[in-house]
Structure 1
Amino acid sequence: MRWTVHGERSLYETPWVRLRALDVEQPDGTRGDYHVVRLRDVAVTAAVDRERRVLMMWRHRFVTDTWGWELPMGLVEDGEQPDAAAGRELEEETGWRAGSLRPLVHAEPAAGITDARHLVFRTDDARWIGAPTERNESDRLEWIPLSRLAGMIARREIVSSATLVGVMALLLDIIPSAG
């Protein structure tokens, strides 16, 4: 069943988040406001090395006051392609540069309330270029064996949805490593 959107108006806006009221008609004919959070897309990079380890960041998320392991990620800027954003974020946050990036998985984490998309890319040929330039992202970086990821998820050491989707795709081996 498809809902029909008759209009949309702004309730609140910043450069990072937009709260909108949509005038919607449900399949049964009921019509009314439905609140939606519009967010920029998030580009994520799963950098995997020849030893089948993935590069992860240990970081604190102040909104939920939680610590966890995450893949490098960030917002896709206006006019930027998602793969370029994924490469930029990998480099800024870790000091590693992707030689190639290919799509790994696409997710819509809360499609009933937000239009945010998590676009996860994979690189198997990242190379170290120097210290990270973004100094507010993580306490440490570590190459983590893929074989440890399931246990980390079970222990809630990985809770970010973008990271969960990315590492689960790696575990499913949706796109096998190159070479």
Structure 2
Amino acid sequence: MTTEPWKRSDLDWPVHEAVVAWETPFFEAGYDVVERPDGERANYYWLNPSNAVIVLAVTDDELVLVEQYRPRLRTHTIGLPAGGIEDNEEPAAAAHRELHEETGYRADELSHVESYVPSGWTRYVRHVFFATDLKPGTPAPDDGEVIETTTAPVDEVLDVVRSRDTVNGLALTPLLLAREEGLL
């Protein structure tokens, strides 16, 4: 699985100071004072949420999707079950938990597809999992989550996710990775 490159000690550009400017229960925001190759120092800003999982769950020939209103974007999105990894939780355990919380489904089979850093601004790793042999159940969303579970035919899911005015980019990379691996 992808490591957290910001924790490396063999840096090409030395970090002289790391400043946490703001903390919330969900992330830290700050900057590093970095020395460029020309010797000049500059601030490079970052957000540091917890690492996360996203789950491609297939039942029959359909992919399980979640639809929800995202207040930060001020719109409804359609995408994949996803969420943060809790302290001392393994990514696979978080994938099982998030799939169940958001959709009610439990997966008998769960495989790791890929892990990647999704943005140059954020310091977190997103772990993508593929879930099969699903058993339906009752969702148990976190407080404040209002999520509707739906499905789409596997061969149409990219079109479904891209059909909104606001494309849910969270889902696009995992969908393309799974397609590249021959899973979709």
Instruction: Give the TM-score of the pair, scaled to structure 2.
Output: 0.84
- CA offset at residue 3 of structure 1? 2.2
The 5 A counterparts of 1:9-158 are 9-51=19-61, 53-111=62-120, 113-128=121-136, 130-134=137-141, 136-156=144-164
What amino acid does structure 2 have at the position aligned with 1:134? P
Task: Give yes or no for the alignment of 1:168 onto 2:152.
Answer: no
Q: Do the aligned partners of residues 156 and 94 (structure 1) sit closer, same or farther apart at CA in structure 2, a change above 3 Å counting?
A: same
- CA offset at residue 169 of structure 1? 2.1
CA contact (8 A) 1:25 1:31 kept: yes
CA contact (8 A) 2:114 2:177 kept: yes
Structure 1 residues 9-45: Cα deviation after superposition (integer angstroms, max 9, x where no partner)? 2111112110122111112221122221111111111
CA contact (8 A) 1:69 1:158 kept: no
CA contact (8 A) 1:20 1:35 kept: yes
CA contact (8 A) 2:21 2:29 kept: yes
Task: Note the residue ranges of structure 1 that are not aligned, 5 or more in a row.
Answer: none
Q: Do the aligned partners of residues 57 and 154 (structure 1) sit closer, same or farther apart at CA in structure 2, a change above 3 Å counting?
A: closer
**Tell me, what secondary structure is at the counterpart of 2:179?**
helix
Task: Note the residue ranges of structure 2 that are not aligned, 5 or more in a row.
Answer: 1-10
User: Aligned equivalents of 2:82 and 2:165: distance in 1?
Assistant: 17
CA contact (8 A) 2:20 2:28 kept: yes
User: Aligned equivalents of 2:110 and 2:165: distance in 1?
Assistant: 26
Alignment coverage as a number of residue pairs: 173
User: Aligned equivalents of 2:16 and 2:182: distance in 1?
Assistant: 40
**Tell me, what secondary structure is at the counterpart of 1:12?**
strand
Q: Give aligned-pair identity as a percent.
A: 28
- CA offset at residue 175 of structure 1? 4.9
- After TM superposition, the structure 1 stretch with the greater mean CA deviation from structure 2, 140-149 or 70-79, is 140-149
User: Aligned equivalents of 1:77 and 1:100: distance in 2?
Assistant: 21
Large movers: runs of 4+ above 3 Å? 135-139
Q: Do the aligned partners of residues 114 and 29 (structure 1) sit closer, same or farther apart at CA in structure 2, a change above 3 Å counting?
A: same
Indicate the RMSD between aligned Cα atoms, in angstroms: 2.1
